[in-house]
Structure 1
Amino acid sequence: MTSDKLDLSTPDLVNQNIEKIAALFPNCVTETAEGKAIDFDLLKQELNHEIVEGAKERYRLEWPGKKEAIVTANLPTTKTLRPVREDSVDFDTTENMYIEGDNLEVLKILQESYLGKIKMIYIDPPYNTGKDFVYKDNFTQDSKEYKEETDQIDKYGNRLVANPESAGRYHSDWLTMMYPRLKLARNLLTDDGVIFISIGEQEVHNLRKVSDEIFGSVNFIGGAGRISKKANNKGDYWAPNFDHVLTYCKNREFCTPFFGGINYDAYNLIEEEGSRKGEMYQLVRLYMTSLDPRPNQRYFIECPDGSFVIPPGEVFPNQKLDAAFISPKSKKDKVWRWSYKSYLEKKDEIVVKKVRSSNLVNEEGGETFWNVFTKTFLNDVIEKSSATPNNFIENHINQSSSHELKKLGIPFDFAKPSSLIKFLMETCRVSENDIVLDFFSGSASSAHAVLDKNAEDKKSRKFIMVQLPEINNPDSDEYKAGYKNICEIGKERIRRAATKIKEETKADIDYGFKVFKVDSSNMQDVYYKPQDYNQGQLDVFADNIKEDRTSEDLLTQILLDWGLPLTLKTETLTIQGKEVFKVDANYLMACFAEGVDEAFAKEIATYQPLRVVFKDSGFKDDTAKENVKQLLKQLSPNTEMKVI
C-alpha cells in the first residue's frame, strides 16, 4: 500500500506520446533541460526506407494556426468539474450528464474517465457562415486584453469571437477551433464507436480533410445529405436547403455495418407477458406462396373455435381434410413459412385471430375470417437486419424541431430535430448502456432523442451533453422568456421532454441528469513570500483546498483523477460523526473531514475499500497520518490510501 498525493490534473498527452514512441524507438529519445524529447530527424529516418535529407512535399491540409491547434489539444488542464445539485434531476441515481463550459476543457477533463467509452458522438458545430461565432483558444491572452479586442467574453472567462468572411483567417480560425476538439473526441470513442458531424457547404471540404487526418481516411464511412429546411427563395444561386452529415468510425475493423429501411411505425403492438414483456412487435401472416411441393410446410392449424385453417387462409373447414387440399379460390397450393416441426417449437409466437380481410389486421365490420400470424419483434429485426440506410436523409428537417420545442413551451430557433439524432442512433446500433456524447449540444436535441429512444424500446442508453453558456441575444424570444443563456434552454428542455415522454409512455427509464460546471481546480495556487516565514503567515496555507469548495466538489475531482465515471452510485455515510462517501460499493471511500485518527481508520477498514482518500489537513500531524496508513495496511491490506 502506498500513500501519495493525488495529481488532480488531466494527463499530459505530449509526455504520454513521447513514452509510446520511446517504447518503439528508444534511440530517437534525447534528453533536454525540460526532460525527454524526440529527435525528429532520427524518427523520420526510422520510418523511411530511403535516406531522409529534408522536408518533402506531401498531400496534407495546412493552415495558419495548425501547429497551435496541435499544441492546444495536447496541453493538460488543471480545471475540473463541480456538481450543481440544484439544477439536476435525480442527482443521486441518474447516469446522464449535462456539463456547462468550454467543450475543449471538458473533453480534456473527460479523457481518463470516459476514454474509449463513448459509442456515438453527434455534433452540430458552427457552420462558419460568416455570421456565427467560433471559440478562440488563446490561453495566453488575459481577459482584459481579450475583452478590449473582441468584447466577447462571459463571466466564466469563455471566449467567443465573430468570424466574418472578410477575416484574413476565416477558414483557418475555424479549423484551429475544430482540430483539437475532434482529436480529443476520437480518444473517447469505443473501438466500434462512430461520430456524426453536421456541417454546411462553407466548411464541408475542410472538415473532410481535417477529419481524414485525425480519424484516418480509411475510417471515413460515408457522408449523408440532409434536407435541412423546406424550399425557400433565399440565396443568389441555389436556395440553401441542404446540409451534410460526415461520418467517421474509430476503427473500421470493429465498426458494425449500419442498418436502415425499417418501418418502425409497423411495430405498433407491445408484448404484455413473458420474457419479452414490453417489447414492440408486429403481426406477419404465416402463409406464403409455394413454387414447389413442401409437405412439411402444409398442415392444419386449429382455431380458437375448434375449426381449422390451412394456407392461405381462404377456406376454413370445420374438420381436418386431406393435407393436399388446394384452395378453390386461389387454385394454388400454398404453405406456411414454418415447417411443422418449427411450428410445434414456436407455438407461443403464433397468433390465430379473426380479420375482416386477408390483407387487413384488426379491422372491424364486414365478414371476418380466421387467419394465422407470427409475432415479429422489432429488437430481432434490428439485430439481424442487413439493410443499409439511404445516404439522403429526407424526413428530419429543422422546422420539425421548432414545432417540437414549441410543444414544450420553449422558444428557440436553429435547433436540430431530435428525430435526426434518434435516426442516427438507430443507424449505428446504439443500444443497451451505450453512451451518446454531444459537445455542441445547443438546445439538447441529442438528450431528447436518447430519452425518446429509451422510452420506445425500454433500454438504458446514457447521454453526456456539453455546452458553453453563451449569452442569448437580449432581443430574442428566449431571452425575454427568461432564458439568459443557452444552457438554461438545454436543461429546461430535458426536464420538460422527460416529463412529456413519461406522461405519454409510462416507461420506467432514467429521466434524470447530473449537472456539472467547469471551474478552476479545487486546489489553491500557493506562492510563499520570504516575509511569510517571519510573520507567521504559513498557517494560511495549511489547507490547500479553496474555501468555497464542497466535499462533493472534491469527490468529483477525485473520480476524474482516478478515471472513474461520474455517475457511479454514491452513498453518504456518517462514521464517528464524519461525512464519508462510499462509491460503487467498496470501490472507493472518501472523507474530507478534520480529525481523522486510528479509531476512525479502524471503522473504515471494516468496509475493506479498494481505495480511500483523505484530506491532508484532516490529520492532526504527520505522525497521525502515518499511524492511519499503517493501521489500514494491517487491517485492510488491499486498500490503497491517497491524500489531497
Structure 2
Amino acid sequence: MDKINPTTPDLTQENIEKIAALFPDVVTEATDADGNVVRAIDFDALKDDLSSAVVDGPRERYQFTWPGKREAKLEARRPTKKVMRPNKEKSKDWDTTQNLYIEGDNLEALKIMRETYAGKVKLIYIDPPYNTGHDFVYDDDFSQTREEYAEQSGDYDEQGGRLVANLESNGRFHSDWCSMMYPRLLLARDLLSSDGAIFISIDDNESANLRKLCDEVFGASCFVGDIAWQKTYSPRNDSKGIPAEVEHILAYSKSAEWIPGRLARTEEMDERYASPDGDPRPWSSGDAAAPGAATHQGMVYAIQHPVTGELLYPPNGRCRPFGGYSMLEIMNGWAEYEFKNIHDEARRAEICGISVDEVRKDVEAIVLKSPCEETYAAAQKRYDEGNWPRLYFTGGGKGGMRLKRYLDTMDGKMPTNLWPYSEVGHTDEAKKGLKKLFGGSAPFDTPKPVRLLDRILTIASEPDSIVVDFFSGSATTAEAVMRKNAEDGGARRFVLVQLPEEVSGSWGDLCAVGEERIRRAGTKVVEEVNAANVQLELGAEPRPVPDVGFRVLEVAEPAVRDEYAEPAQYEQSQLGLFADNAVESASDLDVLFQALPAFRIPYSATITERELGGKRVYDVNEGQLIACFDEGVDAKAIEAIAKERPLYALFRDACFAGDADVSNLEELFKTFSPDTIRKVI
C-alpha cells in the first residue's frame, strides 16, 4: 500500500525527464546544494542539438530580462509542502457549493492548485498591484526565515506571506514587481485549459513590462488584445502630463486559435435589418461573393440572370458564397435552372488570377433551362410579387446579384479593444455598488465594476467554466460569476485567492471583506431571481437559483507531519511524535483535504460522513474515494469499505495497530475490491 508524498512534485525534475526523452545525449549528473548526485541537463549539449550552426562565444538575442529573473522562474518550479485546510465555519453552503475562497499567499495556492486544476480553468482574471510606488507587492524570498524577515520589515502576515512597500526609490523597483508576477503567471498558464484565456488589469506603470512578461509566458502569438477600459467619466485635472482616462486589460490565450465570444446585439445593429420585399424574416443586403477564388475554383462559375438572361460572374478574386447545389436550389426560386458546361475557362481563369492552363476544367455554370422572353417575364413577375429568394437582384429586378443576410442568423457583436464606461462601468460605479452592498461604507478603495467582469465572462467563459482570480481583492469576480449564472442559467464556478491583508475600518483583513461580500451579494442575487420568478407568465420556465455558496480554504502547514524528513533532523525524545503523524490541531477533515490532490480530486467535491463497519468514513464524490481515519480499524470495517468498491481507499498510519492489520487490509481488498487503489497518509 503506497504512502502519499506530502510535497508537490518537483517541476524541474519533470522537465528534465521530458527533455531526456527527446534528447537522451544531453543527460548528465551533477551535485546539488547538499552535495547529492542528481540527474541534470548538459545545456551546452542541448544547445548543440537545437542549433543548425556552430555558435561560439556570447550570443546576441532578443530577450526580456531583469535582476532576479532566474530565481523567480525557479520559484515557480520549486515544490511546496503547504496544503489547503478547510474552514467550515467561514464557509457558506459547505455541502453543496462548488465555489472556493482561498485565504493565503497566491504563489503557494497556485502550486497546490496545479495538482488538481491544471488544464481545467477556462478563464483567469487578475487585478494585481499596479506598482505605483505606494502599494504593496509580495516578497517571495523564501530563503529567509520568518524571524530573519521580521527583523528587516515587520510585514510578515499570519499566513506566511510577505508584503512590502515597493517605493520608487528602490533600485529594483521594476525588477521586484516582475519577479513577483513571473512565477505566478507561469503557474497560471498551467491552470488554463487549451481553450482558456487570462485577462489582467494594469495601468501605465507596468503595462509595457507586463506585455513582455506575458509574451514570454504565453507566447506572443497568443496575445489577444490590449483592451482600453475607460475607468472614469471625469479625469482629474491635477495629474502630471496627460490625465489617465483608461486602464489596460491585457488578454492572452492558451492557444493561438482562441476566438472570443460575441456580445449581445444592440438595437442600433438590429435597426439595419428590415423587410422591403415583405419577407417575414428581417434582413439586410450582403455581398453575394466570398474571397478565395484561386483556392476555391469549383465555386467560380456563371449564373444566368433570370430577368435579362445575362451571364453573371463573381468579381475578380472572389467566388460564390455557397456550394453549387445550394446556389441551384436558391435560383430555382426564380425560374427553372440547371447545371451546364459553357466552356468558359478563359473568363474563370481571369477571375482566379491564373492562366487558362491552370484553371479547373469542366466547372459547370447555373443557367436557365428555357431562356426566353416568357421565362424572363415570369421572373419579373416573381420579383414584383415580393418575398424574394435569398439571392435577389437590384435595380427593380434587372440589376446585380445580392444576398439576404437574415437577422435571426446573425451572431452577436464582436468585442473590440475599446470598452467605454457606458458599457462596462467605471471606478465610481464600482465603489458606489460596494458601498451600497455594505450598508453605506465601502471597505475597499479600488474595486472593479461588476459590469466590467461581466463583459469578460461573456466573451471568455462558458456556462460550465471554472473561473479563477488569485488577486481577488473585494471579490468582484465572485459577484460577477453569480450574477452571470443567474442571467443565463449557467453553472460557472469561481476559485478566488486572497492574502489576508489588513484593511482600514472594522473588517480586519481583506479576506473578511471578500467573504462577506460574497454572502451579501449572493443573498441579493437569490432575492432577485426569486422575485423575477414570481412575475413569470403562467407556464414559463422559472430561472434556476445559482450557487451562491463557497468553501473557505486556508493555505497552511500540513495536517500530517512530514515523515520524509532525515533522521538527523530529530532527537530521540521526538520520535514518539510519529506514533500518530497528524498534528494535534488537525481534524480528520484537514487530513482529508491534504490528501485530495494526490487523487486529483477537486476541493469542491461532495463529502459525506458515513459509518461503515462501526467506523466513521468520508465518502468523496459518491464512492470515488472512501477515507477512514479512525483508530483501531479492524477486519469488519475494512471489509465494509472494500464491499463499497471505491475507486480509491485512504487510511492513516494510526488506523492500524501493526503490520498484521495492514496485511489483513490487503487480503480483504483483493477479495472484495481488487481494483481499488489503496493509500495511506
Counterparts of 1:241-640 in structure 2 under 5 Å? 241-253=245-257, 255-260=258-263, 262-263=265-266, 286=281, 334-335=386-387, 385=411, 387-395=413-421, 396-409=425-438, 411=442, 412-428=444-460, 430-473=461-504, 479=505, 482-506=506-530, 507-525=544-562, 533=572, 538-640=575-677
1:237 aligns with 2:235: no
Question: Equivalents in 2 of 1:56, 1:630: separation in Å?
Answer: 63
**TM-score (norm: length of structure 1):** 0.80
Asked if the contact 2:281–2:407 (Cα under 8 Å) also holds between the matched residues in 1, the reply is no
Tell me the amino acid that sits aligned with residue 251 of structure 1.
Answer: S
Question: Equivalents in 1 of 2:604, 2:480: separation in Å?
Answer: 20
**TM-score (norm: length of structure 2):** 0.76
User: How large is the RMSD of aligned CA atoms in angstroms?
Assistant: 2.9
Asked if the contact 2:331–2:389 (Cα under 8 Å) also holds between the matched residues in 1, the reply is no
Asked if the contact 2:463–2:489 (Cα under 8 Å) also holds between the matched residues in 1, the reply is no
Aligned to 1:355: none
Question: Equivalents in 2 of 1:82, 1:607: separation in Å?
Answer: 27
Structure 1 residues 335 and 202: alpha-carbon distance in aligned structure 2, compared to 1, 3 A threshold: same
Q: How far apart are residue 63 of structure 1 and its match?
A: 0.5
Q: How far apart are residue 234 of structure 1 and its match?
A: 3.0
Question: Equivalents in 1 of 2:555, 2:420: separation in Å?
Answer: 38
SS in 1 for 2:115: coil
The aligned length equals: 547
Question: Equivalents in 2 of 1:517, 1:574: separation in Å?
Answer: 28
Aligned to 1:368: none
Aligned to 1:349: none
Aligned to 1:10: 8
Asked if the contact 1:70–1:180 (Cα under 8 Å) also holds between the matched residues in 2, the reply is yes
Structure 1 residues 627 and 262: alpha-carbon distance in aligned structure 2, compared to 1, 3 A threshold: same
SS in 1 for 2:92: coil
Asked if the contact 1:442–1:486 (Cα under 8 Å) also holds between the matched residues in 2, the reply is yes
Q: How far apart are residue 446 of structure 1 and its match?
A: 0.6
Structure 1 residues 406 and 545: alpha-carbon distance in aligned structure 2, compared to 1, 3 A threshold: same
Structure 1 residues 495 and 289: alpha-carbon distance in aligned structure 2, compared to 1, 3 A threshold: closer
Q: How far apart are residue 399 of structure 1 and its match?
A: 1.2
1:218 aligns with 2:221: yes
Q: Deviations over 1:138-180 (max 9, x none)?
A: 1111222212222212222210000111110000000000000
Residue identity over aligned pairs, in percent, reads: 43
Q: Which moved more, 1:459-468 or 1:284-293?
A: 284-293
Counterparts of 1:105-184 in structure 2 under 5 Å? 105-184=108-187
1:23 aligns with 2:21: yes
Q: Deviations over 1:393-431 (max 9, x none)?
A: 102211111121122125122111111111011122x11
Question: Equivalents in 1 of 2:629, 2:570: separation in Å?
Answer: 31
Tell me the amino acid that sits aligned with residue 232 of structure 1.
Answer: R
Give every structure 1 segment of 4 or more consecutive aligned residues whose post-TM-superposition deviation is greater than 4 Å: 264-267, 287-298, 331-334, 336-339, 525-533
Structure 2's unaligned 5+ residue stretches are 31-35, 271-278, 287-305, 308-329, 335-378, 392-405, 531-543
1:205 aligns with 2:208: yes
Q: Which moved more, 1:598-607 or 1:184-193?
A: 598-607
Q: Deviations over 1:467-489 (max 9, x none)?
A: 0000113xxxxx2xx21111111
Q: Deviations over 1:540-589 (max 9, x none)?
A: 32111111111111111111122221112222101233211111122111
Aligned to 1:342: none
Question: Equivalents in 2 of 1:137, 1:619: separation in Å?
Answer: 40
SS in 2 for 1:505: helix
Asked if the contact 2:474–2:510 (Cα under 8 Å) also holds between the matched residues in 1, the reply is yes
Asked if the contact 1:152–1:161 (Cα under 8 Å) also holds between the matched residues in 2, the reply is yes
Tell me the amino acid that sits aligned with residue 433 of structure 1.
Answer: D
Q: Which moved more, 1:524-533 or 1:23-32?
A: 524-533
SS in 1 for 2:487: helix
Q: Deviations over 1:275-308 (max 9, x none)?
A: xxxxxxxxx974569999999999xxxxxxxxxx
Greater Cα radius of gyration, structure 1 or 2: 2
Q: How far apart are residue 120 of structure 1 and its match?
A: 0.5
Question: Equivalents in 2 of 1:531, 1:456: separation in Å?
Answer: 58
Aligned to 2:372: none
Tell me the amino acid that sits aligned with residue 392 of structure 1.
Answer: L
Structure 1 residues 604 and 172: alpha-carbon distance in aligned structure 2, compared to 1, 3 A threshold: same
